[in-house]
Amino acid sequence: MDTIKTNPMKKTIYILLVMTLVLVSCKQTGPVDYALVSGNITGKEGELTLMSEDRTFSKTLESGKDGSFSDTIRTKPGHFFLRDGKNVVRLYLAPGNEVRVNADAGDFDNTLSFSGKDAASGRYLKLKGKTITDLTGDMKSFYAQDETAYREANKGIGTALEKILDSMPGLDEGFIRKEKRNLHYEYLNALNIYQNYYAHFADDPDFKVSDGFLDELAGMDYNLVEDYNFSSSYRQLLQDHYRERSGKLSESDSLPGEIAYMKVLTTIPDETIRNGLLFGHASNNITFVSDLEAYYSIYASASTDEENNAVIKKSYEELKALSGGNPSPVFSGYENYEGGTTSLNDLRGKYVYIDVWATWCGPCKAEIPFLKEVEEEYRDRNVEFVSISVDRNKDRDKWKAMIAEKELKGVQLLADKDWESDFVKAYVIKGIPKFILIDPEGKIVSSNAPRPSDPELKKLFEEVL
């Protein structure tokens, strides 16, 4: 038998090639840690924003001149909102998902479609939203129904949605299972909000639901991590449950509401839920708290999520720099409604009471009558009332129109870069309205001043003016 000689160098190269192919193959078949979101929104060029439903994740997606976009999303599974500045698409994303969103910006609702191997959840959520809108109809009429009619209407919505869910082809079994539980939580949450909504829409502020109306919430399990991660209605029910407990603690121990709420959250046995609710409240409310040190101490002692903790610690340190007596951050060259521009330094020599607001903000507009009253009462005192709008520059005409319509007084300014303005970011403003008081030397009196409707504002003015 003949012997075939082999070249040692060729053999070595061959072995290395085989090993490389094996490694590449293994890498390609490993678990994917991202979702792929792509699509084309015709007539839309520029940026899209993808934000998680719980607002813990946000990413800007760039679209080309033809409206096309594509990006990988690395975050925990959940519901997301894709916004093009005007229109909103609801998506469910998890690692390994691939979904393509297509629409014409000029006729968005009628042209919105989904493709890709995980398109079914997008189709379901689109149809779900339309069904809820159609069956709810006019909000005032819907929420002003009597208890029996309201309960039955919500049961009917749940039944219709479950039929859609069962008949939608291509949905993942895990999604179906979790969504069915979510539909039940949406029903329970609808019952839970009924008292406040009826009181508002029926103009009956003293309305109370009858005994037994909320019996279906009795015995609810508040420690279901999978449901917490999937369902915003379940999370809302949890928050309301713990707020009710914190209200009792606040009253019994004479604690500020935000301190009592954080104390209650520290007692949650499940780590994921505890961390999530602590972070959710702190990320949105730490800038408003009356006792920063106590609030942060409670948070830091109970949260075990290092990534969350780094975010809250950064906010805490920024807010410490805004304590009374420290120099105030400044704004420069803000557009003045009366013409020209205004900077904070132009107002030196007076106390400056700043209202950060926007034309689209309901709670901001609710403060207008009270602000007018305070302005009138203190017009001859050494205080300047300044309103800074965080409306976008493209909404300048809306800003001007509301000032004229509401006959707003004081110094009316438009921030240079809305929420991204240096002044807004320096004051760690997470929500509006936000009120700030600065002394004649440009030092902070209060970075979280009382709002005009709060009697404490006049007490503060009498102390310093």
In the structure, what pLDDT confidence band is assigned to residue 19 with cuts at 50, 70 and 90? low
Q: What is the mean pLDDT of residues 249-265?
A: 96
Q: Is 243 helix (H, G, I), strand (E, B) or coil?
A: helix
Which amino acid appears at position 172 of this protein?
D
Preceding omega of 433 cis (within 30 degrees of 0):
yes
What is the pLDDT, as a whole number, of residue 164?
Answer: 97
What is the pLDDT, as a whole number, of residue 276?
Answer: 95
Element (H, E) at 83: strand 78-83
For the chain, the average pLDDT equals: 92
Q: Is the pLDDT of residue 323 over 60?
A: yes
Q: In this predicted model, what pLDDT tens digit does every residue of 81-117 receive, in sequence order?
A: 999 888 999 999 999 999 999 999 889 999 999 999 9
Q: Report the DSSP beta bridge partners of residue 103.
A: 41
In the structure, what pLDDT confidence band is assigned to residue 26 with cuts at 50, 70 and 90? very low
Question: Tokens 């998890």 sit at which residue?
Answer: 94
Q: Is 451 helix (H, G, I), strand (E, B) or coil?
A: coil
In the structure, what pLDDT confidence band is assigned to residue 3 with cuts at 50, 70 and 90? very low
In the structure, what pLDDT confidence band is assigned to residue 15 with cuts at 50, 70 and 90? very low
Element (H, E) at 295: helix 292-302
Read off the tokens for 78.
């959940």
Tell me how many helices (H) and strands (E) the chain has.
Answer: 17, 15
Q: Is the pLDDT of residue 10 over 90?
A: no
Q: What is the side-by-side order of every strand in the sheet holding 88-93?
A: 58-63, 46-52, 78-83, 88-93
What is the pLDDT, as a whole number, of residue 97?
Answer: 94
Least confident of 32-46, 152-166, 224-238, 368-382: 32-46
Which of 359, 365, 361 has its CA nearest to residue 395? 359
The domain locations on the chain are: 35-118, 139-320, 334-464
Alpha carbon separation from 35 to 72, 198, 227 (Å, rounded): 6, 41, 21
Alpha carbon separation from 89 to 37, 84, 113, 316, 428 (Å, rounded): 12, 9, 10, 34, 29
> 374, 458 in Cβ contact below 8 A?
yes
Q: What is the mean pLDDT of residues 21-30?
A: 48
Q: Assign residue 287 a region (left: φ > 0; alpha: ψ between -120 and 50; beta: otherwise).
A: alpha
Residues 6+ apart with CB under 8 A from 54: 78, 232, 235, 276, 280
What is the Cα–Cα distance from 147 to 155, expressed in whole angstroms?
A: 12
In the structure, what pLDDT confidence band is assigned to residue 16 with cuts at 50, 70 and 90? very low
Q: Is the pLDDT of residue 340 over 80?
A: yes
Q: In this predicted model, what pLDDT tens digit does every residue of 410-465 receive, in sequence order?
A: 999 999 999 999 999 999 998 999 999 999 999 999 999 999 999 999 999 999 99
Q: In this predicted model, what pLDDT tens digit does every residue of 392-407 receive, in sequence order?
A: 999 999 999 999 999 9
Q: Which fold has domain 334-464?
A: Glutaredoxin (3.40.30)
Question: Tokens 């949605």 sit at which residue?
Answer: 161
What is the pLDDT, as a whole number, of residue 29?
Answer: 55
Q: What is the mean pLDDT of residues 175-201?
A: 97
> What is the domain class of 35-118 according to CATH?
mainly beta
In the structure, what pLDDT confidence band is assigned to residue 284 with cuts at 50, 70 and 90? confident
Q: What angle do CA 235, 203, 251 make, to 5 degrees?
A: 50
